[in-house]
Amino acid sequence: MNWLTRIQSAVCFTFDVRKYYLIGIITFILVFFLYLIVLPASSTGGQISLTNLSYLSPQLAAFAFVMAGLLSLIVPMNFKLKASGQRTHSAGTIIGGISGLLGSLLCCSFVLPSIIAFIGVILPNVTFLTGVQGFIATHEPLILLFSLLILIYAFLISVRQIVHCPNCQIKKQQ
């Protein structure tokens, strides 16, 4: 069974019940809206509000759409696996989803300087952290790409778990 067939089988198996279809739609709407607001935060000095939508570029909108789409597939798959009595590996989903937000939040907001100041109080000679915010601002597209790759990996893990689930009655196409 090739990967395209596995993906098709896993998606069909997951969304054959209306409940999981609704979970996927709700996840997409919430996460897509969250990404649309948070991803342009580097252009607004770390501010998170609806005014960020005016700073949204086509590239950030595409990242938001694809990442929300992947999460809207992964979350119902993990719920379906849990309902089938299988153990899920959702660490990739969590890491990918959060790291997509962190690049924008840490770039130009007060969060990273506050963390660095706190660490500086504890360890007065910490100077290696001062360039972190600049690094994040400079490499934000790469951070988003890395987050996207983590989500793709988490999606493929979920597909593999569903296809190899002994309790899941999926039709294996040859």
- 173 within some domain: no
pLDDT mean over 139-163: 83
Mean pLDDT of the chain: 76
Q: Is the pLDDT of residue 148 over 60?
A: yes
> What are 52-80's pLDDT values in tens digits?
888 888 998 998 899 889 889 988 988 88
Count of the separate structural domains present in the chain: 1
> What are 18-44's pLDDT values in tens digits?
999 999 999 999 989 988 888 887 777
- 169 within some domain: no
- 30 within some domain: yes
Instruction: Copy the structure tokens of residue 37.
Output: 């607001």
Asked whether the whole model's pTM tops 0.85, one would answer no
Q: How far apart are CA 91 and CA 141, in angstroms?
A: 22
pLDDT mean over 107-124: 49
Q: What is the pLDDT of residue 110?
A: 44
Instruction: Copy the structure tokens of residue 132.
Output: 């972190």
What is the residue type of 174? Q
- 174 within some domain: no
By residue range, what is the domain housing residue 102? 3-163
Residue 10 vs residue 107, higher pLDDT? 10
pLDDT mean over 77-92: 76
* DSSP-assigned states of every residue in 44-106: TTT--SGGGGGG--HHHHHHHHHHHHHHHHHHHHHHHHHHTT-----HHHHHHHHHHHHHHHH
